[in-house]
Structure 1
């Protein structure tokens, strides 16, 4: 009889065993060790099988873990049982013993049985039958966790020769560090020899940098093989950036790459990894984090003096990401597949980035009586990549750091006489600056600042200056008044003062300053700004082929006629992994005609023009959608205008839909992301279902009375008599079905409003003029209902606009002088920059309502909100 394992003993031994969720770089690292992360995935069997599964033996549910490198799932107590079935993870290194030296240096496949598998079998070309039921035990596929090739789990597809054949490392082989390059070295056994070697290496450490590297006793060394076409990649992830994005991204990169080329920056920083890989030819770096993370890595590269320094690409997490925007990586990672990110890093162009020294000396001529004991005598950083600034923006950032509550209304200081001197390239700019009376002065290295604004503005407007570049050895000096600083978020710019190569600043009193978002109050000083060096960076570019191709690989036609459809955020979040259902849920906007080689920037202008003639209450003829003869069911055109926050969706190049950052639209051809229809995501789109409609089809179509060849869209109602004509506009429909939730908001009936919402009514409902329940609650002056909506509705409601005047609820609250309600809406995060159709912000509406105190409050919060975005990145 075979002895059964004791569940209690197994559980106890598992608790004593260390379950690793990081790569082990110590001399005791286990060959083929898994990297475990907790998972709540269900519906997949424990990989050890029923005979060894502790959950099966104990007859109760147990926690599960997933290996980031090979994606198998086991119960936590079953990890130890993997040794019984002798299943190891894909090996991330090799031993340096003599036996391995004689063997040919190739990477073998790492085959894993799968009960679920996407794609098609490499042998027969057929898809894999998916087994979603929990009770299904059938293995449908065998796939390699290195190259991702997959075969049907049957002899006719997966043949024996596949087991031992060399692995190509797959689509990203050019950036993968092969495990054959990473060797674990043996320590010397003789302690006397070891002692002598330590003394020799100690001497070398003092005499040369090379000796310092050799003197570090590390169990691992990198021995790269000659491979001129390879661009090996090191990935550094700041897990504190972008909420929980960083931790998830680490796991994904471990799946696509060798886990030993993926580093968590919270585990000691980038220096040790860069030293380890310093001899790798054509090395590239991917910095996953905010601009501060990129600056950290560039500073370490300066210290190590790698020659040539490896170029740095950016996966932008965090909030500001101005350097990432400058280099075309976008304003923040959303949901683009990491496989595409790796391709962009491999294909990106290497460009230079100017970096600037900041040398600070105390000002000996400063008045001792004006000395500020709270002021620092040095800046937080001595080099900057993005900008150096002093004045109002630094003051707000500093107060936010120190007290978590900025008070911009207390700052009214300008650069007065005898307080400040500025010299650029030997020219005294002090009089010019004093004439401007700025409250903020910015020395800018890149075009972007303060979460994507462009403070230098359009270079074509001023012929006195050269176009702004990040690699020209020049720095742009810009002055801001309070008005121009506030106008940045709506496309304004500051006063262009000069472009120069050297700056001398002398201050006679303590002034708030910040370096790439790091603030301080600096005592009276003399600050010298000079060019430090140029860093190599990777700039994201368009696709490899200079001539875009359609998805069937045919050259594009001279002009394209494309149908544009809009998708709501609710449907996108629920269905973006199901392409067909998401297409069914889309709402048509109309048709655009563009040149065949158009990028998405040009398509955006055409779509905006399509919206210019938009009518909020379209007639039946205006709701006509031309069908291309594809057999699709006719749909009604959207009755809502696009909000300013809409973005394009890629529906063709991945197994799901994903968003395209607006800052990257010029990098994408329309033929790359669209076939016969172009999809856009609108986070403010509200789907109001009529009676009898399904979630996938917001409107029904009555085509029985339409002329042949035409499809007219009419919302139908089950409560209407069969012979009565269906209402042809949203306004008529609203008369038939008054929304009692809106009525409760109008009347200020809080208990009724709360009762209706708890019964399932949608807080995002709108009336025929596009007003939300928040608009109506503001008009009625019901503070309780406003507060309830803010606490329970999606945040998109805060900036939702009605159609008649383009007003948000904050515009209306300011116009009605509802101060408490304004406070509620502002503190919830509503935009103070948003303008109505007259170009007014909420502050302007308060001024027109003759409430100067409310206008002053809104202006102060507007300034604070503008600076806060950048400060959030600094806190990363």
Structure 2
């Protein structure tokens, strides 16, 4: 941190650089309060944005400067709502500042939270660990109570007690998943409806709450929640409710059962209860709550929610004036015929500052035909259609390898280098803005292998007018079925040596200290025994959670889907068959495929069903659906 501040002071006037740990942003904003047409770029998560908006409230600037967002947080729900995306990739700063300058100014409702103690609550329900006030008295995104707040609170308390155990995003996600699954099985929030009274705009909805029996209540100000999900959904022809807006002076009240919470991850929504302007929420016992991600356990209280004000925000927009064809004063063509080429992550990282070399390293995928004013969302549909039509019996060349679910578009024209376009911002980019006659995509999981024969052939042309457009999902063929023959060269790992035999034995016996000692001494975690079983297979069989976690954190990710030779089972198949719920969690959250089948055609869900564990099977099925439709690398939502 100190080195970064010194660098800023070297490049800028030291009076323009402020240390936010020393008094926050107030001094800096005060200094610039008289600058005309001031726009602020908040680089951070939604909490950083809320911090800045609260300081602007204190300064009473007139007019208040609009705030844009460079998303660097975990969920980034407000950034997603305003089209800034779910996270920063590698877009040049000059491009970002240009978007800040050209963006539209929109309003964002902000809501007050006023808390009063509930004097009528039963004294026997008093919880000594509960607090009498919320962590924030205003929210921009959402306020919630019940299941999601309980999970967030447990994570927060555990991190406060043992910060050294929460030093990576992977471990944080593992903790969230484990806590959520534990609460899911125990039903710790199932009696929420018994202790809540809800009045919206003078209408008592308590009976509706008691009928629904939700385990979570959410008061939502923006469409996005929990790292990109949309809990209000689209009311469509449901005339009782309007589509959600962040500037209409109304707040949406949503109830979630455990079923609808699970469905949220696969495009579902909660139970729409009300759209209102004022809320009075009364609780009769201490309940976990969270305000824009800040959790607490609030004692029995009466909470009043009312509109505070509206903040000026910058919304990223499509930039028609930057389309190359329009700059040249030429009409937009009716149809575009575009060649699509794929680039591997290895080549991208090595060559993305050298456009010509990177273009030479690309692999052709095919040709698509789209309308001249198409955005990248339509192009994605056509590229995935191209992949589906290329599934026939073709030689396994680089061009015939299917795109992985994490592929993204590359801008090859508007900057001095290639850069990635966030999945959530594809609708903001016209294809003519980032491409002239060739479109490049980045596939982080493209495997460069030796091929025999001629150079890759160009697949067939796909025309968007040839069939109705729709979303097609493409997955690597290896994720849906095992290899036809378990050749050792097809999987990671190598033959067993005498030294590595000790590592296998430590995994079999569940001796974590010995296993860790052997690995640190240089033993290979990708070793296999004579039956093709990895150390992860053996750790699962021994039931050692510590060894499983250690392997996941230290071994290459290929070990997660490695299959043994006898039955074609992955370690997840075996964990499901042994009904090891926690270990299944670890492996699933690390990214193992839930769609891979063994030689009997069973997925891990099927193995859990055969082991008579319906709860584990339901969990695996839910995560399998989520994995099937997940189109971007977003943070695991609660």
State the TM-score, normalizing by the size of structure 2. Answer: 0.72
Quote the Cα distance in structure 2 between the aligned partners of 1:439 and 1:837.
40
1:459-515 Cα deviation digits (max 9, x unpaired): 326332111110000111111111211222221211111111111101111111000
1:7-27 Cα deviation digits (max 9, x unpaired): xxxxxxxxxxxxxxxxxxxxx
Quote the Cα distance in structure 1 between the aligned partners of 2:328 and 2:311.
40
1:626-681 Cα deviation digits (max 9, x unpaired): xx999999995533322222211111222222111111111111111122221212
Q: CA deviation at 1:262?
A: 5.0
Quote the Cα distance in structure 1 between the aligned partners of 2:25 and 2:599.
50
1:714-757 Cα deviation digits (max 9, x unpaired): 99999999999999999999999999999999999999999999
1:154-202 Cα deviation digits (max 9, x unpaired): xxxxxxxxxxxxxxxxxxxxxxxxxxxxxxxxxxxxxxxxxxxxxxxxx
The alpha-carbon distance between structure 1 residues 707 and 447, as it changes in their structure 2 partners (threshold 3 A), is closer
1:350-392 Cα deviation digits (max 9, x unpaired): 1000000001111111111211111111111000000000000
Q: CA deviation at 1:317?
A: 0.5
Give the corresponding residue for 1:739: 500
Give the corresponding residue for 2:19: 264
2:127 aligns to what SS in structure 1?
coil
Q: CA deviation at 1:609?
A: 1.8
1:387-419 Cα deviation digits (max 9, x unpaired): 000000001111111124999999999999999
Q: CA deviation at 1:605?
A: 1.4
- Cα RMSD (Å): 10.1
Q: CA deviation at 1:277?
A: 1.4
Higher alpha-carbon deviation: 733-742 or 490-499: 733-742
Higher alpha-carbon deviation: 858-867 or 331-340: 858-867
Is the 8 Å Cα contact of residues 717 and 726 (structure 1) preserved in structure 2? no
Give the corresponding residue for 1:724: 485
Is the 8 Å Cα contact of residues 321 and 332 (structure 1) preserved in structure 2? yes
Q: CA deviation at 1:589?
A: 2.3
Q: Tell me which structure has the larger Cα radius of gyration.
A: 1
2:321 aligns to what SS in structure 1?
coil
Is the 8 Å Cα contact of residues 486 and 866 (structure 1) preserved in structure 2? no
The alpha-carbon distance between structure 1 residues 573 and 700, as it changes in their structure 2 partners (threshold 3 A), is farther
Q: CA deviation at 1:561?
A: 1.3
2:466 aligns to what SS in structure 1?
coil
The alpha-carbon distance between structure 1 residues 603 and 699, as it changes in their structure 2 partners (threshold 3 A), is closer
Is the 8 Å Cα contact of residues 215 and 256 (structure 2) preserved in structure 1? yes
1:426-468 Cα deviation digits (max 9, x unpaired): 1111111111110000000000011111111123263321111
Is the 8 Å Cα contact of residues 321 and 327 (structure 2) preserved in structure 1? no
Tell me how many residue pairs correspond in the alignment.
616
Quote the Cα distance in structure 1 between the aligned partners of 2:27 and 2:109.
25
Is the 8 Å Cα contact of residues 404 and 476 (structure 2) preserved in structure 1? no
Is the 8 Å Cα contact of residues 548 and 671 (structure 1) preserved in structure 2? yes
Is the 8 Å Cα contact of residues 335 and 369 (structure 2) preserved in structure 1? yes
Give the corresponding residue for 2:622: 860
Consecutive unaligned residues of structure 1, counting only runs of 5 or more, are 1-245, 613-627
Quote the Cα distance in structure 2 between the aligned partners of 1:420 and 1:778.
19
Is the 8 Å Cα contact of residues 345 and 445 (structure 2) preserved in structure 1? yes
Quote the Cα distance in structure 2 between the aligned partners of 1:704 and 1:725.
43
Q: CA deviation at 1:578?
A: 2.5
Quote the Cα distance in structure 2 between the aligned partners of 1:872 and 1:708.
25
Q: CA deviation at 1:784?
A: 12
Quote the Cα distance in structure 1 between the aligned partners of 2:568 and 2:342.
20
2:588 to 826, 830, 843: 826
Is the 8 Å Cα contact of residues 446 and 468 (structure 1) preserved in structure 2? yes
1:786-841 Cα deviation digits (max 9, x unpaired): 87863455558758999999998646753675668635524646588999999999
Is the 8 Å Cα contact of residues 366 and 458 (structure 2) preserved in structure 1? no
Bigger RCO (CA 8 Å, 6+ sep): 2
The alpha-carbon distance between structure 1 residues 814 and 420, as it changes in their structure 2 partners (threshold 3 A), is closer
Quote the Cα distance in structure 2 between the aligned partners of 1:301 and 1:587.
50
1:498-551 Cα deviation digits (max 9, x unpaired): 111111101111111000001111111111100000000011112251866278
Is the 8 Å Cα contact of residues 798 and 829 (structure 1) preserved in structure 2? yes
The alpha-carbon distance between structure 1 residues 395 and 659, as it changes in their structure 2 partners (threshold 3 A), is same
Structure 1 residue runs of 4 or more that deviate by more than 3 Å after TM superposition: 246-264, 404-423, 550-556, 628-637, 689-813, 815-821, 826-845, 852-876
Q: CA deviation at 1:849?
A: 4.2
State the TM-score, normalizing by the size of structure 1. Answer: 0.54
Is the 8 Å Cα contact of residues 289 and 317 (structure 1) preserved in structure 2? yes
Is the 8 Å Cα contact of residues 290 and 321 (structure 1) preserved in structure 2? yes
Give the corresponding residue for 1:535: 311
Higher alpha-carbon deviation: 787-796 or 392-401: 787-796
